[in-house]
Each structure stands twice: as C-alpha cells, then as structure tokens.
C-alpha cells in the first residue's frame, strides 16, 4: 500500500480457499476460508487488522475472528471480535483493551461480565 504521495504505508493481503467447517455436534459443511490482513503505519502510528472467516457457499458467516490494534503512544487500542453461528443465531464476543495494563488486579475485582452479557443478549462463547 502506498499513500497519495507514493510513500509506503504497509502491507495488505487476502486469500480465499475451499474448506470444511465443523460445527459443534460434529456436523460438517463445505465452505470458504477467507483470510485478510493489513499492517502499516498511519501518521507514524502502527496499526493492524486481520480477519479469518469461514463463509458458507450461501455466503453466510459461519465463524469469524477479527483482531485490530492501533498503537498510539499514550493510549494503545487492541480489539478482538469472535462471531459464531450457533443454532441459527450469531453469537458475538468482543474484547477491547484500551491503554496498557499495569500492576496486578485480583480476579474477583472484575465485574461479572457473563451476567452483564446475558442481560444484554450477548451470550459468552464457550
């Protein structure tokens, strides 16, 4: 990838290949495995995005993993998303980390996210 002024910005790649997706319960489905990645620097800030997805021949998402980061010096951002089709529904799990984690935090000090997720309709994936 290059900027409007011809400066290199980073790399981009996409691949699609036939695959077989195994659903929970052992059922298999012919599908496509799609992988896309980009890495680069924008205004001297490193950033990256990657997506790996199993897409049915009907072009429905069966499962998708997405990872993005932007490394601002003062406030880095790291975001991961997992989407999976289960029983005709799409389940979404998101993890967003802002800033850097410093020090130790006891396990019980974090709010029970599974309760929050179930109340708001975002079941946690197992």
Q: Residues 67-77: pLDDT tens digits?
A: 998 888 878 88
Q: pTM score > 0.95 for this model? A: no
Task: Please name the residue ranges forming H helices in 17-126.
Answer: 113-119
64 in Cβ contact with 51 (< 8 Å): yes
Name which of 25-29, 79-83, 105-109 the model is least confident about. Answer: 105-109
pLDDT at 110 over 70: no
pLDDT for the residue numbered 102: 54
Geometric angle at alpha carbon 108, from 106 and 111, rounded to 5°: 115
């Amino acid at each position: 990838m290059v900027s409007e002024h011809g400066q290199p910005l980073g790399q981009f790649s996409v691949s699609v290949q036939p695959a077989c997706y195994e659903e929970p319960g052992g059922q298999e489905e012919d599908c496509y495995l799609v992988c896309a990645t980009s890495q680069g620097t924008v205004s001297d800030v490193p950033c990256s995005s990657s997506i790996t997805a199993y897409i049915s021949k009907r072009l429905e998402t069966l499962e998708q993993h997405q990872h993005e980061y932007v490394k601002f010096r003062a406030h880095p951002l790291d975001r991961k998303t997992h989407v999976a089709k289960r029983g005709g529904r799409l389940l979404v799990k998101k993890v967003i980390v802002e800033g850097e984690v410093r020090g130790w935090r006891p396990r019980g000090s974090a709010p029970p996210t599974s309760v929050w997720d179930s109340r708001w309709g975002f079941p946690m994936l197992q």
